[in-house]
Structure formats: structure tokens, C-alpha cells
A and B are shown apart, each in its own frame.
Chain A
Amino acid sequence: MDAYLTVPRKLEHAVLALQERLGKAPDIVCRRLVIPALDHRPAALVYIKGLVHQDSVQTAILTPLQDHGAPMPPNLIRCWWELLLPASPLEMEKDLRSLATRVLSGEAALLVQGEGRALAIQIQDPKGRDITEPSSEPVLRGPHEGFVESMETNLALLRRRLRTPELSILKRKIGKRSQTQVALVYLRDIANPLLVQEACQRLRRVEIDILLDSGQLEELCNDAPFSPLPTMRTTERPDAVAANLLEGRLAIFVDGSPGALLVPAVLFDFLSPPEDYYERYHLATFLRWLRLAALIFALVNEPFYVAITTFHQELLPTVLLLRTAGAAEGVPLPHALSVLLMDIIFEGLREAASRMPLAIGGTLSIVGGVVLGETAVRAGLIAADTVLVVGLTGVAAFASPAYGAANSLRLLRFPLVLAAAIFGMTGLAVGTVMVLTHLLSLRSFGVPYLTPLAPMNRRDWKDTLVRAPWWQMTTRPHLTRSGDVRRQRRWARPRPPDDMSGGQG
């Protein structure tokens, strides 16, 4: 292939060459026109219907070109476009290939007889949905805006929260065929330059034909490609991205995807949704502990149940054991199998419900939850406590605010149940140690996954195990070494004036 091909000077050749590059398609429009101001030179406007803003073609290009009747003075003809098309952002393009790419991404190409170059006019139609609250991360308190599919809009949403010149945006295109815009966003004076360099390198390494969502990028830039645990965090909330940039993280936006990636991401990031920072800190701290407990519960509850009922009956309180044994009397399957079976049924129900239209979802949950569960127990096929254990595990798994982390843990419990079914508590202990070891070995962009527990950094506990009040969080977390460490002044605790009447007069 030719490396660099300029736009031919002859209009007909230029149009043909460009059309050849664009491929034959009915939605490619080529409008012939004559520009009176340039001695009635013939010209052609090439664009793709649907990608450009139709009104802008008329008002921003055709009308100004036609209306300017008088010929241009020769000294100004060098930059005629600046006089004729002052309203639209435009760029000169000599390379035929990149011109074609621009047309394909929604710009209009104006080819003029004898120019040997083309004007790429940016009149893309920013078609897309309105800014709404992200359905995957709803909050009661806090901003309700969410990212949309358009990257420009998303970056604008972020800019609106970070009005600082230090906000850096590095853009590049990924996807041989999709040419998707990807933006790496960080705060120049806070983010660690090595981290930025690493992220750039990872993005550069990606060579894929099409990039549709940030989820693909997450897998392609992952630290531990075989781990079920996510080492990047996805969020659709501009406020979360802004807050994380201020903690020295990087955000990666993908055009066409409402989910921004945040790196590095450690385990505790998945347990603290943005709402934590807007609620009162007592409640936020309580909820953090609750989520942590739910996470551990979701992982070990079922294996623990299996191990204790099939190997260690003496550990159960007597009344509980008699209930369990009584409920299992006449049940055909052993405990471990019925737990696995119920788990698979539960996962099936969840999957079915998430793929169903909303109207049918309700019916499904009734059929699944009430009819199936109740009937299975009544018929004596499954013990009631098994249904309870599986149900509780499901609820606990979804108590994690990050869907990704919850999903991975749901998967991890299957091998643990197997280990518990074969080796009892020993199996569960060994399995848990293996999971822990894996957690300890994980790193996200160089940051250990269990930071700040291991390696221990007690200063950062103020925003992990507890959510310290805002007036105590005077420094940024030491996730990555960064320049500007201080978040606010020391001694920021609010207090009433010493003289109680002072406020009045």
C-alpha cells in the first residue's frame, strides 16, 4: 500500500480517489458546487449522510460559500477558507488516507479544483442519548449525572468538575477498523509520571480491529490476564472519576462507551461507591464494614455450610443441627450437590431476569423465587436451609457496589464449595488461603491489590476500613507517589466560634 498519497489537484481525480478510499456506499454524499468567490471554481463536498449535522451542511458550508459573491482579492486568496467559512472548525488535510478517515468519522471534506488539498470541516452530528443517571450506580445523595456514549460529552462532564489547567488529556485511536478514540486523562501535578508512561505503553500495545467498549480495553490492558478479579474499575459517574483523578489515578475513556476505566484499582476501591463520600461518615463507615462482611460472606458462606454439615456436625449448635438434619431427612441429594444445583438455578434465574424485558422480569422472579423454591422445598427435593443459604449468598454477592468484583467472587465460590465438599473445613481453609495468596500476588499497575492492608499503610486506613470525616482527610492516599500530597489545610475541623454571640453581631 502507498504510504502517503496526496489529494490530486484535479477535482475529478480527487473526488474519484476519495470515493475509492471510502468505498462504494449509498450513504456517501458528493455534492458538486461552484464557489463564486474563487472565480467560480468547481468544488465538491463529500460527507456521510447521518454522521454529519444536516442543517450545518447548509448553514455553515453551502450558504457562506454561495453568498460570498464578490471575487477575492488576490492577497487574501491564500487563506480564503478563513474568510468564507469562519463559523466551522476546520483543518487542512493533504493526505488522502487520513482525509478518508476523517470523512468516515463524521467530518465533511471540501475538495476544490486546483488546490491539491482538502478542507476537513467538523460538523459531526453528536447524536446520542441524554445525560441520565447511570442505572448501574444509582445514588440517593450526590450528583445524578452519568457518562454517555460520546467521549466529547464525557470529557466536558469531567471538565465541568475539574476546572484546572493541570487536567491532561492524551488522545489516541485504537482499532484498525473502528478507529475508536481513546483518551487517557490525569492530573499533571498529581498523577505519577511513571504510571502515565505505563498506561500509555499498555494502550500502545493494543492492536485490535474493533474497540466497542471499555470492557475490551480492560481485558487487553489487564495486569493479571488469568485472574477472575478486576484490576481496573469501571464507573459511569463523572464525580467518581474526578475524585479518583485527585487521588492520583488515571482515567481511560473510550468513545462509544459510557464506562470510564480507573487505574490503578485495589480491592477496597470496589467496596466504596461515590455515595460514601457524600453521606455522613458514620453511616459510610458502617456500610463499608457491612459490604466487606457481605463480600467475605458471599465467598465463604456456601462452602462453610457444606463443610460443616457434611464433616463437622459437632460444631453446629444442637438445635440448628437438628433442624438442618430434620429438613434434610428424605432429601435425595447430598448437601454439597444440592447447594451446587441451587447455585446453578440461582445463576440461571439471575441471567434470565437480566436478559428479560422489564415487564416479564417480575413474572420470572415470582416463578423462579416463589414457585420453584417453595415447591422444591415442599416436595422434599431440596432442604429449606439450602435454599436459604444460597439465597443469602446471592443477596450478599450483590451487596458489593462494584458489579465486576461481585461477579468474580460469585465464580470463585464454586471451586471453594467443591473443596469443602471433598475435604471439609480443611479444604475450605486451603481454598481460602489460595484465594488470599492470589489477592496478595495481584497488582494493578504496580499497586498491590490489598493496599493499604498489605503492604500496611496505616495512614490510608482513614479511607478504607473507615471513611474518616472529610475534615480529617487532609492528605491524599499514598496509592502512588505523587507531587501534591495535601488535600486541604491541616486542622480543618469545623467548630462553632469561641464567643457564642460572635455570629450574631
Chain B
Amino acid sequence: MRRIVLALIVAVLAQGCWDRAEPRDLAYIMSLAVDRAEDGYTISAEVPLLASLGQGGGGQAGERRTMVLTATGATLTQAAEALGRLSPKRLHWGQLQALIVSESVAHEGLGPVVTFLLQQRQVRERTWLFVARGQAAALLEPEVGLVSIPAMGLNGLARFTPFHGATVTHLAWFVADWHADGIDPVSPLLEFDPDGRRRIAGVAAFANDRMVGALPADALRGYLWLTRHRGEAEAISCPNSKGSLVVQPWWIRQRTQIAQGSEVRITVEATVRVLEERCAISEESLSRQVAERARREIDAMLSWVHRAGVDAIGVGQQIHRQRPRDWAVVAPGWPRMLERLPVQVRVDVTIKLVPAGYPFSDREAKP
């Protein structure tokens, strides 16, 4: 009996806590950039310098809190192994905040990158995905700014940009849209502005996991209307007087209906808020102008969809939901069908708020 107990105790103590790791012994990869190298990939990982984050959060403003490790390999796995050889601490993928891939990698397809990352134990599916204009590794470079860790800056950029929700993509969402029928994934484009700060420049659209191209500016606005996202404010000029009004969509409802003869009818109803008012305009005139502009932007988006054959707005998904049987018929040829899909768009705009608080009817009285 005593021997058995002893053996049990030894078994417990000697098995060695094999995956135990003190938090200080790990190199946390906060953000990862993937670039195409001549023969393979170059990956750059941003890891925090723990000593600078230590007791009391110390460190002075502008002090380096992170460093970037770079390694190259024929495959992503080999590159990661080379990265591991560089690091005096064990690489830990569990805190990955952002993945930046260069456009060339995106054009070849994100499949290998996403698969590689999701194979790593601990990786969060809530990792923001960006496509870089230019070199991806450059965008990791620490910036002196509002956040102490550049990766957290990417996190904030993804969450708090006006495009939030519309274009920003988690790894998990990307994979979901990639594999889903009738919708293609999108991802924000990241670039340096002329002052050398990182910003979200636009939206990259994918066919399956391959990047097809960036949405042009007006198509992007159309994309926002169609995906019910608020977007940025626009200036509308008054017909009779100088000056302009600034309006912003406040609340958008979009309905996609499939009519007989497989014509798609898209209705967008929007409530628009007036943010600044520098000229007099009647309510009807304003809503007509906003609606016209929205329709133009939506048309731009739809014609981009027609040209590229990429269903970034998920028309197919809507058909699938409404008429599963019809969808089963059209699904195999959907990208080709999309290119010549007849679409009817109707936009209704309601003006909700006036900055000074008095209604338009008073305005109309004095021209």
C-alpha cells in the first residue's frame, strides 16, 4: 500500500508540468506582418519588452515598449521556426492582436496564412486582419502616440475607426465569409498617410481567399449603404444659395428581395442627420439630393460587383436565406451570374434632425 501511494506521489510530482511557462518567459507576439520574400515569406513579429512594462507601468513617454523580430523562410512554418531561433523567450501566439499581410500575399490568397495561424495553439480567432499597401512589416514599426504598444494601436484603429464593423475583419469572420456561400470576405486596407501615421485607407475585396482589388472611393460608400453602416459625413450643396450642409446617415435599413425572373430588388431606407447647416434648403430637396447621391454610390458599388464578379455585399446570402431552393440551383454559377444580375435600387431618405432645433417648414417661409 505504501509503495502504491509513493508511486502515485512520484507520478504526480515527476510528470513535470510539461506545458508550464512563467509569463515572463514568453515572447508574446502582439502583431504579425507577412510579406512575400524572393523565395518564400518574411514574417515580422512585434513583441513587447516586458521590462519596460513592469512595476507601476514605468517607462517614459516615447520609450520603446516593443521590438520587431524578423525572419524569412520558404514556408510560413519555416519562417516561424527561424523566428523562434531568434527569440530568447518562447514564442506565444495567444495574444496576437493584428495580422497584416502585404497586397502581394493577399493576391496569392490568404488561405495558407490563416491556416498556419489557426494551427498555432492559443491563437485567438479575434485577431484583426489588415491588408497592407506596400510593405507589411513597415506598418508594425512602433509609433509614438496615444497607445504604448503599437499592436494595441492597430486594435484601436480597427475598433474605433468610422469604418468599424463594415470593413474590419476578424480572422474568424474572414474564414466564415470565405467558406460561406453567397458572400465574399473583405478586409481593411492599411497604409501610411503622408505624415507617416497608420490609417485605414479603404477596403480590399476577396474572391474566396484571394484579394481581387480595392474598392474605389464611391463604390466604398455604396458598400457602406448596402451593408447598413453609417460611414462618414458628406457635404451637400444647396441649390439656390452658397454654402453647404453636412449630413450623415444615422440609421439604415436594407432589404434585398428576389423578384420573379430572378431580378434583385434592393431597397435602402435611411434616416439622415444634419450635422452642420450653412445654407437654407427644403426638406424634400435635401432628402432628394441625399437619395440621389446614395443611389449613385450604390450603383457604383453594384457595377464594381458586376465587373469583378465578387459578392462582397452578400446578395447571394440573401437569396439563400429567402429562397433556399432557388439558391441551390444558382449557387454553382453564382459569380458568373452576378456579373449580369439585374438589380433595381430604391432609396428612401428621411431627414431626422436639424442642428438649431427648428423645423424645415420655418426655413422654407423665408427663401
The contact of B50 among A309, A322, A421, by CB within 8 Å, is A322
Verify A310–B23 contact, CB threshold 8 A. yes
Verify A328–B23 contact, CB threshold 8 A. yes
Verify B22–A335 contact, CB threshold 8 A. yes
Q: A378 — nearest CB in chain B belongs to which residue?
A: B55
Verify B21–A323 contact, CB threshold 8 A. no
User: For chain B residues 52-69, which have a beta carbon within 8 Å of chain A?
Assistant: 52-57
The contact of A331 among B13, B21, B24, B149, by CB within 8 Å, is B24
Q: How far is the CA of A31 from the CA of B304 in the complex (A)?
A: 122
Q: Is B135 an interface residue (CB 8 A)?
A: no
Verify B57–A323 contact, CB threshold 8 A. yes
Verify B17–A329 contact, CB threshold 8 A. no
Q: Is A384 an interface residue (CB 8 A)?
A: yes
Q: Which of A1-9, A15-23, A313-321, A481-489 contacts B (4 or more CB under 8 A)?
A: A313-321
Interface string of A346-372 (1 = CB under 8 A from B): 000000000000000000000000000
Residues of chain B within 8 A (CB-CB) of A309 are: 22-23
Q: Is A60 an interface residue (CB 8 A)?
A: no
Verify A325–B20 contact, CB threshold 8 A. no
Q: How far is the CB of B228 from chain A (nearest CB, A)?
A: 30
Q: How far is the CB of A142 from chain B (nearest CB, A)?
A: 45
Verify B19–A313 contact, CB threshold 8 A. no
Q: Is A138 an interface residue (CB 8 A)?
A: no
Q: A422 — nearest CB in chain B belongs to which residue?
A: B17
Verify B50–A321 contact, CB threshold 8 A. no
Verify A314–B122 contact, CB threshold 8 A. yes
Interface string of B17-61 (1 = CB under 8 A from A): 101111110101010000000000000000010111111110000
Q: Which of B91-99, B109-117, B331-339 contacts A (4 or more CB under 8 A)?
A: B91-99
Q: Is B82 an interface residue (CB 8 A)?
A: no
The contact of B23 among A330, A335, A378, by CB within 8 Å, is A335
Q: How many of chain A's residues touch chain B, expressed as a range?
A: 20 to 34
Residues of chain B within 8 A (CB-CB) of A325 are: 23-24, 26, 28, 48, 50, 53
Q: How far is the CB of B49 from chain A (nearest CB, A)?
A: 9
Q: How far is the CA of A321 from the CA of B53 in the complex (A)?
A: 10
Verify B22–A314 contact, CB threshold 8 A. no
With contacts A310-B22, A318-B95, A324-B23 taken as known, whether A329 is within 8 angstroms of B28 at the C-beta atoms is: no
Residues of chain A within 8 A (CB-CB) of B54 are: 326-327, 329-330
Verify A314–B94 contact, CB threshold 8 A. yes
Q: Is A281 an interface residue (CB 8 A)?
A: no
Q: How far is the CA of A269 from the CA of B29 in the complex (A)?
A: 49
Tell me if A's interface is mostly helix, strand, loop or mixed: helix
Most B Cβ at <10 Å: residue of A319, A324, A325, A378: A325
Q: How far is the CA of A322 from the CA of B13 in the complex (A)?
A: 30
Verify B55–A327 contact, CB threshold 8 A. yes
Q: How far is the CA of A423 from the CA of B152 in the complex (A)?
A: 32
Residues of chain B within 8 A (CB-CB) of A424 are: 17, 19-20
With contacts A313-B26, A313-B92, A328-B23 taken as known, whether A322 is within 8 angstroms of B53 at the C-beta atoms is: yes
Q: A334 — nearest CB in chain B belongs to which residue?
A: B22
Residues of chain B within 8 A (CB-CB) of A422 are: 12-13, 15, 17
With contacts A331-B24, A421-B17 taken as known, whether A314 is within 8 angstroms of B50 at the C-beta atoms is: no
Residues of chain A within 8 A (CB-CB) of B50 are: 322, 325-326, 329
Residues of chain B within 8 A (CB-CB) of A329 are: 24, 50-51, 53-54
Q: Is B265 an interface residue (CB 8 A)?
A: no
Residue tally, chain B, CB below 8 Å to A: 32
With contacts A313-B94, A335-B23 taken as known, whether A322 is within 8 angstroms of B17 at the C-beta atoms is: no
Q: Is A377 an interface residue (CB 8 A)?
A: yes
Q: How far is the CA of A328 from the CA of B123 in the complex (A)?
A: 23
User: For chain A residues 376-399, which have a beta carbon within 8 Å of chain B?
Assistant: 377-378, 380, 384
Q: How far is the CA of A309 from the CA of B28 in the complex (A)?
A: 13
Q: Is B296 an interface residue (CB 8 A)?
A: no
Q: Is B124 an interface residue (CB 8 A)?
A: yes
Q: How far is the CB of B146 from chain A (nearest CB, A)?
A: 14
Q: How far is the CA of A423 from the CA of B28 in the complex (A)?
A: 22
Residues of chain A within 8 A (CB-CB) of B122 are: 313-314
Q: How far is the CA of A475 from the CA of B54 in the complex (A)?
A: 58
Verify B30–A318 contact, CB threshold 8 A. yes
Q: How far is the CA of A58 from the CA of B26 in the complex (A)?
A: 86
User: For chain A residues 415-443, which have a beta carbon within 8 Å of chain B?
Assistant: 421-424
Residues of chain B within 8 A (CB-CB) of A380 are: 55
Q: How far is the CA of A413 from the CA of B19 in the complex (A)?
A: 23
Verify B95–A314 contact, CB threshold 8 A. yes
Verify B55–A313 contact, CB threshold 8 A. no
Q: B12 — nearest CB in chain A belongs to which residue?
A: A422
Interface string of B147-161 (1 = CB under 8 A from A): 001001000000000
With contacts A313-B92, A313-B94, A328-B23 taken as known, whether A321 is within 8 angstroms of B17 at the C-beta atoms is: no
Q: A419 — nearest CB in chain B belongs to which residue?
A: B12
The contact of A330 among B20, B51, B53, B94, by CB within 8 Å, is B51
Q: How far is the CB of A171 from chain B (nearest CB, A)?
A: 46
Q: How far is the CA of A321 from the CA of B51 in the complex (A)?
A: 13
With contacts A321-B95, A322-B48 taken as known, whether A311 is within 8 angstroms of B55 at the C-beta atoms is: no
User: For chain B residues 130-149, which have a beta carbon within 8 Å of chain A?
Assistant: 149
Q: How far is the CA of A187 from the CA of B12 in the complex (A)?
A: 52
Residues of chain A within 8 A (CB-CB) of B53 are: 322-323, 325-326, 329
Verify A313–B152 contact, CB threshold 8 A. no
Residues of chain A within 8 A (CB-CB) of B92 are: 313-314
Most A Cβ at <10 Å: residue of B24, B52, B94: B24
Q: How far is the CA of A168 from the CA of B124 in the complex (A)?
A: 66
Q: How far is the CB of A429 from chain B (nearest CB, A)?
A: 16
Pairs A-B, 9 closest by C-beta atoms: A314-B94, A326-B53, A314-B122, A325-B23, A326-B54, A329-B50, A328-B24, A326-B50, A329-B24
The interface of chain A, by Cβ under 8 A from chain B, is 309-311, 313-315, 318-319, 321-331, 334-335, 377-378, 380, 384, 421-424
| 15 cross-chain CB contacts under 8 A | A310-B20, A311-B20, A313-B122, A314-B94, A314-B123, A315-B94, A318-B97, A321-B23, A325-B50, A326-B55, A329-B53, A335-B22, A335-B23, A380-B55, A422-B15
Known contacts A335-B23, A380-B55, A422-B13, then 15 further A-B pairs from the complex at CB < 8 Å, ordered by chain A residue: A310-B20, A311-B19, A314-B94, A314-B122, A318-B95, A319-B152, A325-B28, A325-B50, A326-B50, A326-B52, A326-B53, A328-B22, A330-B51, A422-B12, A424-B17
